[in-house]
A and B are shown apart, each in its own frame.
Chain A
Amino acid sequence: MNKKKKDWRKRYAFVGLSVIIAMFAAAIFADFITAYSPNETNLAPEAKLQPPSREHLLGTDDLGRDVFARMLYGARISLSVGFVAVIISVVIGVILGAISGYYGGWVDIFIMRVVEIVMCFPTLFLILMLLAFLGPSIITVMVVIGVTGWTGLARLVRAEFLSVKERDYVQAARALGASDFRIIFRHILPNALSPVYVSAVLGVGGAILIESALSFLGLGVQIPMSSWGNILTSGMHYIESAWWLMLFPGLAILITVLSYNILGEALRDLLDPRLKGYGQK
């Protein structure tokens, strides 16, 4: 790849990262950005379903709540669900993938069959089923998205381990008396992480989408707590009269997921040694 193209990649990554950081900042500093409370209702007819104005930047909903405030506080939920769910997936995926790739044999066969079984379930329905059993709450949503999303990562890590464990330095470490634990986590894992970074970043976008879908279906974050998904649901009934109720949370989801995907793709290109520029070691 020539230098120019690589610069573009860097720029993409930068744009994606900036948007994500801005989103996080908005979520963290929600208290300072808006004076409205996300749950403050105003049932006066003149306060309900108001279009965007100077007073209510993104309008108000059917209970007279400020949509902008609800979205800011909803961002906390949506972003943290995405983040935590992916951390859970990464931990499970990396550990199982590492064990599978490193030890091989029966352990590998067993773990990979489990992966295939989990992969056979349509993820969204599996999640819906689990949530129906466990009852919806933010924690269960995070955990359930996390424990259903590790399969791809486990395979990725296993594949990396299969190649890295054959390298000379792994054998050298073993010859110097390093334990399996040390070899796995200190010698192989750091050399196997770059596809994990990419997959994790892309996974955050996916997890946010799933969370939105769940909240939209009423099995995710429960009202009155707001999340981008359930703001969409509440706007659904007014789609013909109050367009702002669906447009802005929809846009927020779109932009966030897109940013994660752009960042992930750009990271993939930057971390892939085959695409590294000439004259670089």
Chain B
Amino acid sequence: MLKVRNLKTYFYTQRGTVKACDDVSFDIDHGRNLGLVGESGCGKSMCCLSLLKLIPPEGNIVSGEVLYKGRDIFSMDNKELRKIRGNKISMIFQEPMTSLNPVLSVGEQMTEAVLAHKDINYGEAKALSIELLNKVKIDRPKNRFNEYPHNLSGGMRQRVMIAMAISCRPDILIADEPTTALDVTIQAGILELLDELQNEYNMSVLIVSHDFGVIARLADRVAVMYAGEIVEYAAAEDLFKNPLHPYTKGLLSSIKQIDKRDKRLSTLKGAVCELDNLPKGCRFSPRCDLASSECREALPGLKEISPGHFVRCVKSG
């Protein structure tokens, strides 16, 4: 349903070109969820924002295409884009505390989102909003409708954001780290809600996270991003059972396992390379234990190792 092909989003800064997304390609199939994993600063958010052409003005979508039901989003004008945003493809953000406008009531913001896309009157929009608040399990939705964001907790605000995002029954919901700013119990509730809504509305969720736990909970397919590139792309089960890229392996092994008490938590050495100062050759090579001179020279391409399992590593396959 959504095809992303060779997406390149660059930022031209005084220090050089920051390649936030470099040659990113993936598909989102109808009713299937895609997980996008990676460390902070690896370009996940910019990738999501690029899909709806929402990147800040300093950013440039250099090349690539995003096809939604065969239509190229990048060639749409603003008016067409607005009809897609929030309507066909909507998005929720990382920071529920700041994603709602403090001076507008919950109801004003929700009805606005509905009225922007649907041809209904205010009364119907209000009824729909209250129904949606109920659906995202906010208690006393009628009262909450008239309250302001500061009356709500972080988890509730994220629920309101979700309610707004699904108000037009989108085909795709982009969830950019929807639980990162929330504590663990709230996180579980939000994920459960997303799961339920995904089933009920039969939409696709693009779930972005640095947390494999979150990804495992929702995603059918997973793309692992490193330094602006997708380094591994596979079905979720396949990826967890049989990770091929050293980076994916490293990430998976650095998850805390409660049953292995005496083992020291393994970590990935070093930090993500700066996106404006990429190493020659494989971008992961400076941190990779397996790196050889070959890795430091050649830029590996994405290879299909087994059906549907892609890896960007010279050593694999």
Contact = CB atoms under 8 A, between A and B. Distances in A.
A177 B113 contact: yes
A172 B93 contact: yes
Contacts of A190: 101, 103-104
A191 B87 contact: no
A175 B91 CA distance: 6
Contacts of A171: 54, 93, 99
A186 B90 contact: no
26 contacts: A168-B95, A168-B98, A169-B99, A169-B100, A169-B101, A169-B102, A172-B91, A173-B112, A175-B54, A175-B85, A175-B90, A175-B91, A176-B86, A177-B83, A177-B84, A177-B85, A177-B117, A178-B113, A180-B78, A182-B112, A182-B116, A186-B104, A190-B104, A191-B101, A191-B102, A281-B150
Interface in B66-116: 78, 82-87, 90-93, 95, 98-104, 112-113, 116
Contacts of B54: 171, 174-175
A169 B98 contact: yes
Contacts of A187: 101, 104
A218 interface: no
A200 to B, nearest CB: 18
Contacts of A167: 98
B188 to A, nearest CB: 23
B99 A168 contact: yes
Contacts of A180: 78
A180 B77 CA distance: 13
Interface of A: 104-105, 167-169, 171-180, 182, 186-187, 190-191, 281
Nearest to B89: A175
Given A168-B99, A177-B113, A191-B101, 19 more contacts: A168-B95, A168-B98, A169-B101, A172-B92, A172-B100, A172-B161, A174-B54, A174-B85, A175-B91, A176-B86, A176-B90, A176-B91, A176-B112, A177-B84, A177-B85, A177-B86, A180-B78, A187-B101, A281-B150
Interface of B: 52, 54, 57, 78, 82-87, 90-93, 95, 98-104, 112-113, 116-117, 150, 161, 164-165
A123 B90 CA distance: 50
Most chain A C-beta atoms within 10 Å of own C-beta, residue among B57, B92, B95, B101: B101
Majority DSSP secondary structure for residues of A touching B: helix
Contacts of B161: 172
A178 B112 contact: yes
A175 B98 contact: no
Contacts of B92: 172
Contacts of A186: 104, 112
Contacts of B84: 177
A177 B104 CA distance: 17
Nearest to B167: A176
A105 B58 CA distance: 11
Contact of A176 (B102, B104, B113): B113
B83 to A, nearest CB: 7
Contact of B87 (A105, A173, A177): A177
Interface centre among B52, B83, B86 (most CB of A within 10 A): B86
B118 to A, nearest CB: 11
A178 B84 CA distance: 11
A157 to B, nearest CB: 16
Contacts of B112: 173, 176, 178, 182, 186
A168 B56 CA distance: 12
B207 to A, nearest CB: 16
Question: Nearest 8 CB-CB pairs, A to B?
Answer: A176-B86, A177-B86, A177-B85, A175-B91, A168-B98, A169-B101, A190-B103, A172-B99
B52 A175 contact: yes
